[in-house]
Amino acid sequence: MNIIDFHLQNFRNYDKEVVTFIPGINTLIGNNGQGKTNIIEGIYYLLTGKSYRVKREHELLKWDKTDFHLYGDFIVKHHKIFLESHYQNNKKRVKVNQVPCQRLSDFVGTINVVFFSPDDLIMVKGGPSERRRFIDLHIAQIRPGYVSLLNAYNKVIQQKNALLKTYNDKSLKNSQLQLWNAQIIELGTKIILQRDELTKQIQKVADQIYMNLTSQKEKLDISYYALGKKNIQDALLEFPDLLNQKMDQEIERQMVLIGPHRDDLQILLDDKPARLYASQGQQRSLVLSLKLGELELIRQEKGEYPLLLLDDVLSELDSFRRNYLIEFIESSHIQTIITMTSAESQLGSGALFQVEQGHIRRER
Amino acid sequence: MDFLNYPQPLADLISSLARLPGIGPKTAGRLAFYLLQQPQISQDLAQAILTANHSLKKCSICSNFTDQDPCALCQNPQRDSTELCVVEHPRDVVSLEKTKEFKGRYHVLHGVLSPMEGIGPEQLTINLLLKRLKGVQEVVMALNPTVEGEATALYLARLLKPLGIKVTRIAHGLPVGGDLEYADEVTIARALEGRRQL
Ligand SMILES: Nc1ncnc2c1ncn2[C@@H]1O[C@H](COP(=O)(O)OP(=O)(O)OP(=O)(O)O)[C@@H](O)[C@H]1O
Ligand SMILES: [Mg+2]
Ligand SMILES: [Zn+2]
């Protein structure tokens, strides 16, 4: 999977810029606040219809402008794909090869991407939702239909929450709550099984990468906890009982208290919870290993590597880890776009772009 | 919005049109100007809307819109009264009738359970449904494949099954999140054939 060129108009601090990338390593170099991250964010937005950094598209719009435009040419399995994204009046329009897409889920996964952002580090120390997001985004990329499944499940949760808020009496217990519980079990089971399966896959590859990154010194272990349990089969068997047991409490607190929307991933470094003990560099190495693991899994599933976006990945890594990462990228022939400030530039090969105040210039 | 600069009657027309489903302010503006240039069409349309609103009521048996009560379908002796097909909207009856596959009778719920919109069983025509079950052997749920449609089908199944009635639902040859209205006739016909027991 390759990006050939990328156009930004009125996006963040860019007026109108084009970058033509090479199939190998593309380094974006520049001082702080010049627009390196904005390019990566733009590419990610074009490919997924979402920004990692913001909830509202409005912030992506260049100050005082009314619409932004992102488009680019890509190659997927020897086919050329032209993607366009246009945002105006709070509406976004996406076109694939000039054909308008109705729903996000229609094109997510068309062009796969793995993105490391310093914002991802929050998945180590942050709440369970950050970790669920990681696994969900991964599944969405390789399993068509997963986004609709999640949306349907979330709708059930919203409906049940509304029901719990409208009537808070016990009479609900045997009637209407059951209707939604039945769907929580049906859809929730599918979500749990996929999350567990894919977490196990990631664990296998990411552990190996983490070992290499730390020169065999540290061990990474990641596992999915469904309904508070590590044993997924047990959890699923008990799912109906657990829902019934929680019912009184749910009626009292007027919200759904159990289901995969409250599940978590447990991450251990050398058998200790990373959430509590991981250092800055360890957090970065860990997230990086998960992302590189994801990269490998997408290749296995889709038959080619996804595009790799690495924003500000090198800082805080010791020289051994930096060198390992650089070697990994250089030897793997994955198309990579990596940002760094001038001070840390170390990549000897590939294209080099200087980013300065919203302008991009190829230097090598 | 810029149409607020228009003369009041025109602005009113545009904003009324814009309240219709699937019509944005731009289309509403285009329609309004078109109507103004076509007085005869406007007359006919206005008259048709008023007449439809005045003369159509809900059938006292199946709740479908009708100009006579009971409606033509409910009065038709050819229809098999042992089979009852439950749908969300009157427009779904039209979609299903087009396939000519279903020979039984219909019941229109006028919605599905949706606590978020304040729609519970009392807001639907479920009481009417329960009153017309004599002689009914099978109830076919032809609700849209949404989580709300699913919950409604389940709710009805729980009421009907203890009465010894076979409850089936049309197989989801329909896309998830799909609407009966937009599915083509072949898809609906296939879905009707493949109905399974709830
Ligand atoms: N909506 C916007 N309109 C105009 N400029 C914006 C907008 N959003 C952000 N910027 C500007 O873009 C610049 C930030 O760009 P970016 O985050 O890409 O920097 P960077 O090159 O990655 O820097 P660092 O090395 O610090 O990570 C800031 O100067 C910010 O003021
Ligand atoms: Mg940055
Ligand atoms: Zn009738």
Chain A hits for B151, CB-CB cut-off 8 Å, are: 159, 179-180, 183
Is B9 in the same domain as B97?
no
Is B98 in the same domain as B48?
no
- Report, as an integer, the average pLDDT of A32-43: 96
Is the per-residue pLDDT at A102 higher than 80? no
**Range of weakest confidence among A60-69, A162-171, A188-197:** A162-171
- Tell me which H or E stretch contains B152: helix B147-160
Substitution target in B119, B122, B147 with the highest count of A β-carbons within 10 Å is B147
Count of structural domains, chain B: 2
Which residues are CB-contacts of B82 (< 8 A; sequence separation ≥ 6)?
A: B104, B135, B136, B137, B138
Fold type of domain A1-111+306-364: Rossmann fold (3.40.50)
pLDDT interval class at B177 (50, 70, 90): very low
Tell me, yes or no, whether B188 lies in a domain.
Answer: no
Q: How many CB atoms lie within 10 A of CB A101?
A: 18
Task: Compute the distance between CA of residue A31 and CA of residue A348 in angstroms, rounded to an integer.
Answer: 19
Q: How far is A216 from chain B (nearest CA, A)?
A: 47
Pair A115, A52: CB distance under 8 Å = yes
Fold type of domain A124-303: Glutathione S-transferase Yfyf (Class Pi); Chain A, domain 2 (1.20.1050)
CATH for B122: 3.40.1360.10
Is B27 in the same domain as B94?
no
Residue whose C-alpha is closest to residue A18's, from A71, A56, A58: A71
> Alpha-carbon torsion A238, A244, A247, A248, what sign?
negative
Tell me, yes or no, whether B19 lies in a domain.
Answer: yes
Task: Compute the distance between CA of residue A100 and CA of residue A312 in angstroms, rounded to an integer.
Answer: 34
Q: How many helices (H) and strands (E) does chain A have?
A: 9, 15
Is B71 in the same domain as B140?
yes
Tell me, yes or no, whether B127 lies in a domain.
Answer: yes
- Tell me which H or E stretch contains A15: strand A14-20
The partner residues of A266 in beta bridges, in order of sequence, read: A223
HSE (side-chain half, CA atoms, 13 Å) at A108: 22
Which chain B residue has its CA at the smallest distance from A187's CA? B147
The CB of A291 under 6 Å from ligand 1? The reply is no
Tell me, yes or no, whether B125 lies in a domain.
Answer: yes
Is B8 in the same domain as B80?
no
Tell me, yes or no, whether B176 lies in a domain.
Answer: no
Pair A259, A216: CB distance under 8 Å = no
Is the per-residue pLDDT at A344 higher than 70? no
Tell me, yes or no, whether B36 lies in a domain.
Answer: yes
Which residues are CB-contacts of A203 (< 8 A; sequence separation ≥ 6)?
A: A220, A221, A222, A223
Domain residue extents for chain A: 1-111+306-364, 124-303
Is B70 in the same domain as B102?
yes
Chain B hits for A176, CB-CB cut-off 8 Å, are: 113, 115, 120-121, 155
Which residues are CB-contacts of A349 (< 8 A; sequence separation ≥ 6)?
A: A24, A25, A330
Q: A299 vs A45, A286, A304, B177, CA distance in Å?
A: 21, 20, 5, 30
Residue whose C-alpha is closest to residue A225's, from A262, A272, A184, A185: A262
CATH for B49: 1.10.8.420
The partner residues of B196 in beta bridges, in order of sequence, read: B169
- Report, as an integer, the average pLDDT of A101-122: 82
Average per-residue pLDDT for chain A: 91
Is B139 in the same domain as B89?
yes
Minimal Cβ distance to A183: which of B118, B120, B147: B147
Which is more confidently placed, A352 or B178?
Answer: A352
pLDDT attached to residue B103? 93
b (16+ CB within 10 A) / e for A172-181: beeebbbbbb
Is B138 in the same domain as B115?
yes
- Report, as an integer, the average pLDDT of A316-323: 86
pLDDT attached to residue A104? 67
pLDDT attached to residue B176? 45
- Report, as an integer, the average pLDDT of A256-272: 96
pLDDT attached to residue A38? 96
- Structure-block tokens of residue B79: 């229809």
**Range of weakest confidence among A294-298, A344-348, A360-364, B173-177:** B173-177
pLDDT attached to residue B181? 56
Task: Compute the distance between CA of residue A152 and CA of residue A188 in angstroms, rounded to an integer.
Answer: 10
Tell me, yes or no, whether B191 lies in a domain.
Answer: no
Tell me, yes or no, whether B92 lies in a domain.
Answer: yes
Is B73 in the same domain as B160?
yes
Task: Compute the distance between CA of residue A118 and CA of residue B137 in angstroms, rounded to an integer.
Answer: 62
Q: ipTM above 0.90?
A: no
Is B133 in the same domain as B83?
yes
Task: Compute the distance between CA of residue B88 and CA of residue A325 in angstroms, rounded to an integer.
Answer: 57
Minimal Cβ distance to B177: which of A148, A158, A163: A148
* Residue-number span of the structural domain to which B36 is assigned: 2-55
Is B50 in the same domain as B87?
no
Instruction: Tell me the per-residue pLDDT of A188-234, one tens digit each, with 9 for 90 and over.
Output: 999 999 999 999 999 999 999 999 998 888 999 999 999 999 999 99
- Report, as an integer, the average pLDDT of A102-124: 83
Residue whose C-alpha is closest to residue B98's, from B198, B13, B183: B183
Is B31 in the same domain as B73?
no
Chain A hits for B156, CB-CB cut-off 8 Å, are: none
